[in-house]
Amino acid sequence: MKPADQYHRFVYWSEEDACYIGTCPDLCGPCCHGEDANEVFRELGEIVEEHLDLLKREGRPMPLIRTRPMQELAFA
C-alpha cells in the first residue's frame, strides 16, 4: 500500500457551487472541483500524491491519519 492510499478522499456534490468538490481532510481539505465526479477523484489523487511528495522532499512528517469513517459510523 502506498502512503497516499492511507488518507481518505471524498468527492461530493455541492449545490451551492453546482459542481463536485474533492477533499482529503487529513491533508488539504477541499482542493479541487469539476463537473465530472470521476475526473475530480482522479485530480484529487494527484493532489494527495504531490502533497505527500512535497512533505517528503522537505523532510517534514506525514500528517496523522485521523479520519476513520467506518469507525465513526460503527460507534455513533
Residue 45: which domain range? 3-74
What is the count of structural domains for the chain? 1
Residue 70: predicted pLDDT: 62
pLDDT at position 73: 47
The CATH number of the domain where 60 resides is what?
Answer: 3.30.160
Q: What is the pLDDT of residue 71?
A: 54
- pLDDT value of position 68: 74
pLDDT of residue 74: 47
pTM, two decimals, is 0.82
Residues in the chain with pLDDT < 50? 73-76
The whole-number pLDDT of residue 67 equals 83
DSSP-assigned letters across all residues of the chain: --GGGGS--EEEEETTTTEEEEEETTTTEEEEEES-HHHHHHHHHHHHHHHHHHHHHTTPPPPP----HHHHHHT-
